[in-house]
A and B are shown apart, each in its own frame.
Chain A
Amino acid sequence: MSIDMSQFYQVFFEETSEHLANMESLLLDLDVENPSLEDLNAIFRAAHSIKGGSGTFGFTDMTEVTHVLETLLDRLRKEELRLRAEMVDAFLAAGDVLRAQLEHHQGGPEADEAQIREVCERLNQLASGEAPAAAPAGGMQRQARTVYLSCALPAEVVAEGGTLDNLLAALAEIAALEIRHRPDAADPTLSAVLTTLYGDAEIRDTLSFHVAADAVVLSENEVEETAYGLFDEAPAGDPGYGLFDEAPAAADPGYGLFAEEPAAATGGDPGYGLFADEVPAAQAEAPQAIREETDASGAYGLFEDAAGKPEFPAHRKVAPGDAPAAIEGQGYGLFVNAPGGVGLFDGAPGLPATQAAAGAAPASVAPQVPAQSPGRRVTDNPAVETAKAGRRDSDKVMTVANTDTSIRVSVEKVDQLINLVGELVITQAMLAEAANAFDPVTAEKLLAGIDLLSRNTRDLQESVMSIRMLPMSMVFSRFPRVVRDLAGKLNKQVEMKTIGDNTELDKGLIEKITDPMTHLVRNSLDHGIETPEKRVAAGKNPKGTLTLKASHQGGNVVIEVIDDGGGLNREKILAKAKEKAIPGVHDGMSDHEVWQLIFAPGFSTADQVTDVSGRGVGMDVVKRNIEGLGGKVELESSPGYGTRTIIRLPLTLAILDGMSVGVGGETFIVPLTAIVESLQPALADIRTMGGDSRMVHIRGEYLPFVSLAEVFGLNGVQDITQGIVMVIEGEEGKAALFVDELLGQHQVVIKSLEANYRRVPGISGATIMGDGSVAMILDVSAVTRMGLGNPQRTRPAPVEGQMAA
């Protein structure tokens, strides 16, 4: 009974973590200004499933949190509330809380009660439509501030005194109101000074019933009169006016793309680009003119950040010369010359109508707009701009299809299947060999059948192996959150990009590559990408780019972490290395050698230790982990242009490229990655040292001579000239490994020796050869160590007669 329940628990845990991950990725993708109803519904469904599941299993704590979460989501999807950036933050926090609770139920530490309460309170407050009275977790203490408000009210509001009064009363509720200009028929502009605790978003919300959020001009500075003058010319009845409400919405789906293109479009014209996402709005001439003028007064990001997150700089200058940085390999540049870009927005809600009405509006307005105001999306989501817009839809289609057509199978079952297929392949090879003895004429049918069998088994093996393969997006998908959080913490602006999400990698590798990659990403953010100020000073886009890329190269998967930050500092690394007295450091080292110093244990060039990184534990661990997976790490860096970390991994943990060697009748596999070269030694090349230790003189280097037969106590070839010396490179450096003969190169399936036996010194695993026999895979570093030390010492103590006490 209890076993049955725990089985169900497992399913619930798995499903819930999946829902949580799904929710998080949806939240991060969510466009705060214009959330798609579909996304909100998907988030709601995920929360609802978690609630249902946790209720069924009696995890009431989770039910409570999800209930609160659901309430807010429900109001959002019914469009009773507008989505705000702090809601997304609260949702993410709730997701974290749920995850903590889930871990607790799985036997992890207790979730933080205070945090749960706080998140629930925050959600409740948001759901009731109020801003949190107390400072939320992030410490976004709100202070009373003065905001200058100006907006043109629609004629009917002005005409009807009651409506206007209500509106003003509503404003008075959230702010101390000082009306500068009460709208009247002649001038429908409402102008007021507000002293308020609330953000711009709430003010816009209050007015939203009558005025589009974007039409509300809020600023910290007094709006200059020139702007008003223009308002006069934009009577409420202007046909373009009504469009204004809709135009921004129409632009929304295109944001991601346009956020990319701006600087490229203009090169020398600083600023225009950021306005690009407003372009469709430009079709409404009159309001556009307002913007133009108000902006010209040197103002204040009129259209900034409706979400009102004060901690992020709303105004950002784009320095000339940014253009190259903005042109991405992704081909966003395509849209550069299409500021009107209407065709691109086919899917945009409301646009066709807008377009028709705006027919007369000159599209050329846009380029003249001196944009101070960064595009909304840029400010809403300052930390992360996952360049996904273009891909989003197709991704979504894929995800939907995946959930419908996949089944959940335990990894053990898959591994069992892989083992069985492996056996089948061996059996097939045996059959094929046996069949060779037959006369091809009389046994024609048999031979044809065996040929067919071999083809089918090969296909079968390939498809079975592919079951274990997972796309890299499994790894990449956790980084938008990491980058978002970290960039916020470090006050940096970082855009994350992924290339090659669909590159497939063995499940085992996927699990093990995440930690090293997290390290690299954190490093890039902390040390690589500079602060916006530094970047601007260096003539770069203030927003740094972090690219994660995966691709296949031959039998390897290559994963790259690329940042466009400051690059590695050669002098600093050299100085640090000298300070740490790392051997072999001198000024004449090549860049490549200098970069390798970073991988030395305890090495950090960070000026100060932060909680993100800088303690100097990291790169050495990254390197060790990746080498443990049979991979390699390389670094490329160019000062001022960034750093690229390249990880090369074998396609799967289960398969190894190896050279089989024979020693005393036994077969061993040497991993190909460890072999530098193989050669037949001349007697003269062998030198002795201290009488006993032997060295091989190869190409000017003296390498320690290790005889595999001696290490393993086998009867190998005694005559050195009859054997083969393999130059191998492991943790212990280079060594010459002496073996009887080279047998051939294979791809071998790695089997654990420890599963049924124990760890054997010098052996990293075993494999099954084509003839069904077992061969040992050498642990090159350990063998070198054993060969260099006293071989007697490394042998296990004699076991006989040693009775366990």
Chain B
Amino acid sequence: MEITESVGVAASGEYLTFTLGSEEYGLDILKVQEIRGYDAVTKIANSPPFIKGVINLRGVIVPIVDLRIKFNLGEPSYDQFTVVIILNIGKRVVGIVVDGVSDVIHLNSENLRPAPEFGSVLDTRYILGLGTVDERMIIVVDIERLMTSQEMSLVDAAAV
């Protein structure tokens, strides 16, 4: 019910697709600030392993999350091909590390289906739906809800 609703809302629009291991994900392109390579990060003490640390993005301290570690997908390797998507979520700027960025696609309600409910590492609450484009399955994530969720521990518990 809730999912169908959000699918309806998110139905039409441009989505940026990226890969984590062999899976393809999509997120609302309007949330993306920029895409850049992976720089040296400064570690944050006592933080969960998927939070790589913070970088200096033109004077702004931006935390970097490795979604591959978070979702146990792909090999977390860091080289010149590693991609960081800088997201603008609410008033926050957050970077996510992914294996690669594929393209920008247009999805509408016809090629977007609700995700079936089953336990996975990525809770279905954060999935807006499954999109199909040229036989590819794209998992469309509600990146804003995911990034501000408690389990990403990116925000203070009190602020959630």
A residues engaging B (CB < 8 A)?
419-420, 422-423, 666-667, 711-714, 751-763, 766, 768, 772-776, 794-796, 798-800, 802-804
Which chain B residue shows the least CB distance to A772?
A: B56
Instruction: State whether A760 touches B58 (Cβ < 8 A).
Output: no
B36 within 8 A of A: no
Q: Which of A423, A766, A772, A803 contacts B61 (CB 8 A)?
A: A766
Q: How far is the CB of A715 from chain B (nearest CB, A)?
A: 11
Instruction: State whether B55 touches A799 (Cβ < 8 A).
Output: no
B154 within 8 A of A: yes
A-contacting residues, B50-70, CB 8 Å: 53-56, 58-63
Partner-contacting stretch, out of B9-17, B77-85, B145-153? B145-153
B117-160 to A contact mask, C-beta < 8 Å, 1/0: 00000010000000000000000000000000111011110010
Bound-state Cα–Cα, A409 to B94, Å? 28
Bound-state Cα–Cα, A799 to B48, Å? 7
Q: Which of B41, B59, B149, B151 contacts A768 (CB 8 A)?
A: B59
Q: How far is the CB of B87 from chain A (nearest CB, A)?
A: 10
B91-120 to A contact mask, C-beta < 8 Å, 1/0: 111100000000000000000000000000
Residues on B with beta carbons closer than 8 Å to the beta carbon of A754: 156
Residues on B with beta carbons closer than 8 Å to the beta carbon of A772: 56
Bound-state Cα–Cα, A709 to B60, Å? 26
Question: Could you list 22 A-B pairs, sorted by A, with CB under 8 Å?
Answer: A422-B59, A711-B45, A713-B45, A713-B46, A714-B45, A751-B59, A751-B60, A756-B60, A756-B62, A756-B94, A757-B54, A757-B63, A757-B155, A758-B155, A759-B156, A760-B46, A768-B56, A774-B42, A776-B42, A776-B45, A800-B48, A804-B150
A760/B44 contact (C-beta < 8 A), A419-B58, A751-B61, A755-B92 known: yes
Q: How far is the CB of B84 from chain A (nearest CB, A)?
A: 14
Bound-state Cα–Cα, A690 to B127, Å? 53
Instruction: State whether B59 touches A762 (Cβ < 8 A).
Output: no
Q: How far is the CB of A511 from chain B (nearest CB, A)?
A: 21
Q: What count of chain B residues pass the 8 Å CB interface test?
A: 32
Instruction: State whether A775 touches B153 (Cβ < 8 A).
Output: no
Residues on A with beta carbons closer than 8 Å to the beta carbon of B6: none
Q: How far is the CB of B118 from chain A (nearest CB, A)?
A: 14
A-contacting residues, B21-59, CB 8 Å: 40-48, 53-56, 58-59
Apart from A751-B59, A758-B153, A758-B154, 4 more pairs, CB < 8 Å:
A419-B60, A756-B93, A768-B61, A772-B56
B residues engaging A (CB < 8 A)?
40-48, 53-56, 58-63, 91-94, 123, 149-151, 153-156, 159
Instruction: State whether A757 touches B159 (Cβ < 8 A).
Output: no
Q: How far is the CB of A401 from chain B (nearest CB, A)?
A: 34
Bound-state Cα–Cα, A795 to B44, Å? 12
Bound-state Cα–Cα, A145 to B25, Å? 90
Bound-state Cα–Cα, A757 to B48, Å? 13
A763/B151 contact (C-beta < 8 A), A751-B61, A757-B63 known: no
Q: How far is the CB of B49 from chain A (nearest CB, A)?
A: 8
Residues on A with beta carbons closer than 8 Å to the beta carbon of B156: 754, 758-759
Q: Which of B42, B60, B123 contacts A666 (CB 8 A)?
A: B42
Residues on A with beta carbons closer than 8 Å to the beta carbon of B155: 757-758
Instruction: State whether B123 touches A755 (Cβ < 8 A).
Output: no
Bound-state Cα–Cα, A774 to B92, Å? 18
Bound-state Cα–Cα, A754 to B91, Å? 11
Instruction: State whether A760 touches B47 (Cβ < 8 A).
Output: yes
Instruction: State whether B42 touches A775 (Cβ < 8 A).
Output: yes
